Structure 1
Amino acid sequence: MSRRHLVGIVVPLLLPFIPVTAHAETVVDASKYVNPFVGTADGGPDFGHGGGAGMTFPGAVTPFGMMQWSPDTVRTAGGGYKYEDDRLYGFSMTHISGPGCTGAQDFPVLPISGVIGRSPAVDGPGYVQTFDHANEQASPGYYRVTTDSGVRTELTASTRAGVARFTFPAGTPGTVLLDVTGSVNGVDDAEVSIDGNTVSGWAHTGGFCGAASRYRVYFHATFDRPITAAGSWKDGVVQPGITVVSGASPSRRTNSGDIASNGRGSGIYLQFDSDRPVQMRTGLSYVSGEGAQRNLEAEIGMKDFDTVRVDAREAWRQRLDQIEVSGGDPDRLRTFYSALYHVFLQPYVFDDVDGNYTGFDGKTHQVRRGHHHYATFSGWDIYRSQTQLLAWLVPDVAADIAQSMYENAHVLGDVWDRWSHQNTITGVMNGDPYHSIIASTYAFGADDFDADAALDSMVAGAERVGEKAGYTERPGNDQYQRLGWVPGQVSDTLEYCLADFGIAQLADRLGNQEQHEKFLRRSHGWQHLYNPDTGWLQPRSAEGVFGYPFDPAATDGYVEGNGAQYHWMVFQDVRGLFDKMAGTNRMATNTGTTRDDTVIRRLNEFFAQLNAGPHAPYAYLGNEPSLQTPWLYAWAGQPWRTQEVIDRARFELFGPTADGLSGNDDLGTMSSWYVWASLGLFPVIPGRAELFVHGPAFAHAEIRRSSGEQFTISAPDAGDAAPYVQALQVDGSATTKAWLPESFARDGGRLDFVMGPDPEKSFGAAPSDTPPSFGVPGP
């Protein structure tokens, strides 16, 4: 992505409520700055990890809402919608925000002008609706499009339900097609029926990212207008008057990314007079059809479309207004609040209004009173930035997410997934990230979950060798525990080390020193992969042999990255890594250079490019393994370089338009990175709550946690002309440290930045300013 998104932002940002320039704005209702289309178009190169777009969706949803009613284009995309396409397949009720693989998109609904012709199962392309973006609009909780055929579709939502409003061209009947087998990866079985003005059904589907896992989802819908004709289709046959149909279908996508006409599939159609709009009120459930009906009745009942839309917008206003920033150019505000919006989409509420939810064991369970069960966790991604932001802003939600993860694992015999979709294990990606998520959540003070039981379960999962419940939590765990590393795998080793560090941190906070020391030792297995002859972390065989020659741009032994990018992923002991790297430069050290000269030189080389992809030895900030690396300069005494890198990244990789993300958002991971980066803070160490400072993008920010604590960030001179921290006060006391203790994130406080145009190289440079590292405990 180029700097075109923010061209012209050269005036300094202002103090709140002081109108020095007309270009700065003060936020009153943050929801007005959200562009739900951000991330739906390609914003960067496709490096083979899900494309160069955010893979978000623009449809109607409330914060953490189960109902995510959104348009799906013919061209495939992880979020269902590809901005570059002008063809709509339908409006499905479930989505995933930002994944590199397709999933969900259950129960697509498609309104058309006219009557049904050939079966949609054999003539899918014949029903595709084209549109122009000029006739499309989206805002928090609302989506609208008018297709070239003249049909207008509007969508809004509550937590577990939604309302669609269809307006058809006058003089021609309007028809609504509901493809019960239309889930993006196909269905094993499905059924739908019509009873008067009510339609209900279910689908058994799954297959996220090629996984074998399956889930069952239900809907219950009512229409507010008389149905003048109805029927169904099954495979190639249209059946007028037949109002119950079942069937199965393969994936509806082809290798080219278009919809498939494979001749299989089932659905129903409903015909209406076109003299007035038709409202379709729909409830979702992952428990039962009755649950979907109760969800609809409890959350929407007989409310009309506009009332539900207003309620949805208010829910977003309250959530987004937890952070009020001011002194920003409108484009920067749009980028910021669009990112914050995407942070609050997922995970989402998975329990019904009566508290029932379907667990990973396929059985119905009941949530604790006053709490929610959440679903769909992109573990490999979110443990790096989004987990911490949720735990900071909404500790009540974060604690319920942690409890949900624990309950999911425990019912399977303490088996922890890496990437869960709905109530299923997918095993997508590598590592064991949920342990870091649980530990970070607790560290930020979101501790209203069964942490002691979770710790016992985490230990059991981390120590297991082999398969349980059809899933292997840690491939290579026998060798990892015996040798300290996974042969041939740097990324697996580093991920397991971070997971073990998370277990150690939670154990320490809960007073379990035996497990704390055991897992802290295990978290330093990375040391076995350091090759002093090359100065790199490298793949190593079970016999202890490093391969030669070593190319840091090579990808063997790494997941979605290379040796140069994974080398830095020792966030639990950065000082330990730097000390080893200094040992490979003994001659230079003896001539008077400092021990971190090697580190600084290599970091500088690394950040020569910010989004180089997996085949070049530079940063890859459009993907997760590089996300924390800009802050490593703090351990080398040069945090001013971090400030430089972050300032570049905010410009080059993010923007307020559809192409405003340069890589998959991965359920809010990249968006949360931008929110942190714009506030001038970042949680670098998974499992901990220290916040590293680098200089905010706004003159002023007020942050309110849902638990009541408040934070003020003031930087009157912040702006493009003053990206460097000159001085910092924490709660009125001066500090030269480029990081804050854990207590700040939990308790609230005030930061006052003095910003300037040139680096203040003494800030964070003293040995006493060095951030914490967690080395191997003594014998």
Structure 2
Amino acid sequence: MIMKNFALFSLFVLCALWADAQEPASYVNPFIGTTNYGATYPGAVMPHGMVSVVPFNVTPHKGNEYSNTDSWCSNPYVYNNEWMTGFTHVNLSGVGCPDLGSIIVMPTTGELNVDVNEYGTTISDEKARPGYYSTKLNRYNILAEVTATMRSGISRFTFPEGKANILIDLGHGLTNESGAHIKRVSDNEIEGYKLMGTFCYSPQSVMPVYFVVRIKRDNMQSGYWKFQDKLPGARHNWSSTSDTYKLYKRYNKELSGEKIGTYFSFDATEGEQVEVQVGVSYVSIENARENLDAEQTNLSFEQIKKQAYVTWNDELKVIEVEGGTYDDKVKFYSALYHLLLHPNILQDVNGQYPAMESDAILSLDNQDRYTVFSLWDTYRTVHPLISLLYPEKQLDMVRTMVDMYKESGWLPKWEIYGREAHVMEGDPALIVIADTYRRGLTDFEVETAYEAMLKHANTVDNHFLRHDNDFYLENHYIPFLKDYDNSVSQALELYVADYNLALMASEMGDKTTYKKAMQRSLGYRNYFDKEFKLLRPVTEEGKFMEGFDPVQGENFEPVHGFHEGTSWQYSFAVPHDVKGLMRLMGGKNKFVQQLNKCFKDSLFDMSNEPDMGYPYLFNYSSGDEWRTQKQVHDCINRYYKNSPDGLPGNDDTGTLSAWLIYSMMGIYPVCPGDMNYTLSSPVFDKVTIHLNKEIYKKEKIIIEADRKSVNDIYIKGIEINGSPYNRYFISHKDLIELGHIKYKLGAAPKQ
């Protein structure tokens, strides 16, 4: 368990090592990424869990020094905010836009107050481990503990003696949608739904989340509240805790509205523990109750907490590491933990789930239905890594994507709970499907998947996936237009997608599509400007855009040609044709010079996906591989830490964490679809990857490093299964089948 009070951290570390010496879960620090816009959270969640119980501390508070600022925030928890207003039960990890962060449960003491601007509290003594979180609510002297199952959460509140309250707030959260409904079922149970969505301000990505809340206590008074302004001069007979919240103390039926909630009040004895159970479903209230009953009946809080920890530990055991520092292990296993949060399951215990882009309710057996596909981010690292470590999960993810096509007519781009948000560029589903298939994971509806890929590539009027596709199909680039400023970044994503389409066409024996798609994938050459040796927007007439500034966009200002980045952060983003780019730049020396400038002049952004593979590109220049080793270790040490600011930016549903996992192991897939990993020096002395024997037919991969000092990061020699190896690339097939890489490392680069 990780304590937020890092003054006690060293002593705690020793205790943790004695108690959990070899358990991977004991190294996880859920606070990593909770500042510096990492957008992660320290709450309780299961691997790929539908429910996460998270402290909500980003609500502004009038006149309180601990309040969050009014600035935009995409996560329910920020490490340095000490003012919290409850525990949310549906959340997103590492995303760049706000949504969910709702169904908030808050315990208080004293007189009932339902005004969110007034009932919050500072917190202290925070502790977190996989599947568990606890803190002290200072204002109320309440110990709050939370844990979770796959589809439900449970909170345990330890109260002091006196008046006590439990608030269920449906009016606040991170979602851009409003509106909720509550119905009292019994003296200690409510049910209802909350409207969610409009992720990244996409107006159509709206969905309800259904819930059942059950408080394990009798003899409580209860009622509703609703936000309602008092009109000047009007007379009111209702009770109110403030100028804006109306209490319903006698009305016990149903309530609907935007800022509504329900409360339960009682007289607590000293040290009394009250548990609050929350079941969730995206199908119906009945399913939410069934999920809760199926996953919590006859289980105590401690049993659920232990079950969550054991499940996490078993999942994390897929990789064993030896050597390295304690902080190295914490960074590594925390990254693996973050990798396993999304995509998360969508189906209920009875197999039902909401169909993609419709109101239909479908059902499945013996398969997980996944949701939250941030594919522009995750195609680069997350899905290739899941294919290696958890291939059975990756197969279900691809099956889910194909089913989404069958249900809606399109593969997902940025899907969230059965709705398409149309966020970011390109056509990333094609990349994930081709990459998965080529890794030998072929047990899905391949013909249907390929049909969908062709539809995506050839449809000219789908403005959400391939805008300007008619021009692109003919000219192999997207022109710069005054009212559209992401032309180059959009085209670069399509080039990688078309490269993967070509690879898939080859697998399918479709020679015509292979030739056309491969030709399109090389269209980046249209953008190459010999003067700057960078990519530059091009007009419809084939001329370079005037007023080009290659560093415009480094502060997220509006950019001509590039989305959330500069030309420098996109100009090497042609992983499928690095050698071709090298020739355009005038050969390997000029290529290396230009790439080196990117790092030397701080033009590289570790948090930006298009350039996250840059450190590995030196491996394409014979004799310069040591630069990759230097830059990779520099990135690991500079941008990743065992601290709340331990991620360089939005984790993007595990994308940055997956980069770290690969890099600390010493392998990296520069281009999804291309079955070659490029090599660098590992951080650990030994890495053992346990393979799924039913799929890969092998038990494990071992990566070893022979070094005298932790500063020995440069490769002096490589052996594969005991034989000398003189390349810095290894195929996926050879990695699986040969299974043993050994590095000889030294302090000075091999030149």
TM-score, structure 2 normalization: 0.88
Give the structure 2 partner of residue 454 of structure 1.
Answer: 449
Q: Mean alpha-carbon deviation: is it higher for 438-447 or for 307-316?
A: 438-447
What does residue range 619-658 of structure 1 map to in structure 2 within 5 Å? 619-637=604-622, 638-658=624-644
Deviations 1:578-622 (A, max 9, x none): 11111xxxxxxxxxxxx311011111111115xx4xxxxx11112
Structure 2 counterpart of 1:441, from 436, 439, 454: 436
- 1:497 CA displacement: 0.7
Report the counterpart of residue 241 of structure 2 in structure 1. none
> How far apart are 1:569 and its partner, in Å?
0.7
Counterpart contact for 1:376–1:422, Cα < 8 Å: yes
**Cα displacement string for residues 615-636 of structure 1 (whole angstroms, at most 9, x for unaligned residues):** xxx1111221111111111111
| Separation of aligned partners in 1, 2:588 and 2:21 | 43
Q: Is the 8 A contact 1:679 1:696 kept in 2?
A: yes
Tell me what 1:726 maps to.
Answer: 716
RMSD (CA atoms):
2.0
Matching residue within 123, 127, 130 for 1:140: 130
1:64 to 35, 48, 53: 48
Residue 576 (1) aligns with residue 589 (2): no
In structure 2, relative to structure 1, the CA distance for the partners of 1:186 and 1:243 (3 Å cut) is farther
Sort the Cα spacing of 1:66 and 1:707 in 2 relative to 1 into closer, same or farther, 3 A.
farther
Deviation at 1:549, TM superposition (A): 5.2
Residue 207 of structure 2 aligns with which residue? 215
- Equivalent pair of 1:396/1:707 in contact (CA under 8 Å): no
Secondary structure in structure 2 of the residue aligned to 1:217: strand
CA deviations on 1:49-94 (whole Å, 9 max, x unpaired) are xxxx211011000111111111111236322101111111221111
Instruction: Say which structure, 1 or 2, has more relative contact order (CA 8 Å, 6+ apart).
Output: 1
Residue identity in the other structure for 1:225: R
TM-aligned CA distance change 1:435 to 1:304, over 3 Å: same
Q: Percent identity?
A: 30
- Residue aligning to 1:261: none
AA at the equivalent of 1:179: D
Deviation at 1:201, TM superposition (A): 1.2
Task: Measure the CA separation in 2 of the matches of 1:79 and 1:484.
Answer: 38
Q: SS in structure 1 opposite 2:268?
A: coil
CA distance in 2, matches of 1:545, 1:174: 71
**2:356–2:419: 8 Å Cα contact kept in structure 1?**
yes
Q: More deviation in 704-713 or 492-501?
A: 704-713
Match for 1:144: what amino acid?
Answer: S
Contact 1:697–1:719 (Cα < 8 Å) also in 2? no
Of 725, 736, 744, the residue aligned with 1:754 is 744
Q: Which among 711, 718, 728 is matched to residue 738 of structure 1?
A: 728
Residue pairs, 1:288-303, within 5 angstroms: 288-303=284-299
2:107/2:167 contact within 8 Å kept: yes
8 Å Cα contact 1:444/1:746 also seen in 2: no
1:74-85 matched pairs, under 5 angstroms: 74=59, 75=68, 77-85=73-81
The count of aligned residue pairs is 684
Residues 432 and 311 of structure 1, relative CA distance in 2, 3 Å threshold: same
Q: Quick one: structure 1 residues 707 and 58, their matched pair in 2 at CA, closer, same or farther if it must change by over 3 Å?
A: farther
The one-letter amino acid of 2:50's match is M
In the alignment, the residues of structure 1 paired with residue 171 and residue 397 of structure 2 have an alpha-carbon distance, to the nearest angstrom, of 30
Pair 1:158 & 2:149 matched: yes
How many Å separate the matches in 2 of 1:749 and 1:26?
A: 29
Q: Distance in 2 between matches of 1:575 and 1:26?
A: 47
| Contact 1:186–1:248 under 8 Å retained in 2 | no
Q: Distance in 1 between matches of 2:570 and 2:744?
A: 34
C-alpha deviation, 1:368, in angstroms: 4.3
* CA distance 1:211–1:731, shift in 2 (3 Å): same
Distance apart, 1:27 and its partner CA: 6.1
Q: Which residue does 2:312 correspond to in 1?
A: 316
Give SS of 1:492's match: helix
Amino acid across the alignment from 1:272: F
The answer as to whether partners of 1:27 and 1:324 remain within 8 angstroms in 2 is: no
Distance 1:496 1:186 in 2: 30
Match of 2:165 in 1: 175
Structure 1 segments unaligned to the other structure (5+ residues): 1-22, 43-52, 250-264, 583-594, 613-617, 762-779
Alpha-carbon distance, 1:496 to partner: 0.7
Counterparts of 1:504-543 in structure 2 under 5 Å?
Answer: 504-543=502-541
**Match in the other structure for 1:422:** 417
| Structure-2 change in CA distance of 1:25 and 1:182 (3 Å) | closer
Q: State the partner residue of 2:250.
A: 241
Classify 1:423/1:482 alpha carbon distance in 2 versus 1 (closer, same or farther; 3 Å). Answer: same
- Residue 180 of structure 2 corresponds to which residue in structure 1? 190
Q: 1:482 and 2:474 equivalent?
A: yes
Superposed CA offset, 1:242-292 (max 9, x none): 33443343xxxxxxxxxxxxxxx1111112332221112221111111111
Q: Deviations over 1:281-317 (max 9, x none)?
A: 2211111111111111222212110000000000000
Q: Residues 636, 410 of structure 1: CA spacing in aligned structure 2 closer, same or farther, 3 A cutoff?
A: same
State the partner residue of 1:359: 355
Distance verdict in 2 for CA 1:25–1:158, change over 3 Å = closer
- TM-score scaled to structure 1, two decimals? 0.85
Q: More displaced, 234-243 or 223-232?
A: 234-243
- What do the CA deviations read for 1:20-41 (whole angstroms, capped 9, x no partner)? xxx9999610000000010002
Separation in 1, partners of 2:74, 2:443: 33
Q: Given that residues 689 and 745 in structure 1 are in contact (C-alpha distance below 8 angstroms), is that contact kept between their aligned partners in structure 2?
A: no
For 2:201, the aligned partner's letter is G
Give the structure 1 partner of residue 65 of structure 2.
none
Within 5 A, what are the aligned runs for 1:557-576?
A: 557-576=561-580
Decide whether aligned partners of structure 1 residues 186 and 548 sit closer, same or farther in structure 2, where only a CA change above 3 A counts. closer
Deviation at 1:458, TM superposition (A): 1.5
Q: Say which SS state the counterpart of residue 605 (structure 1) adopts.
A: helix
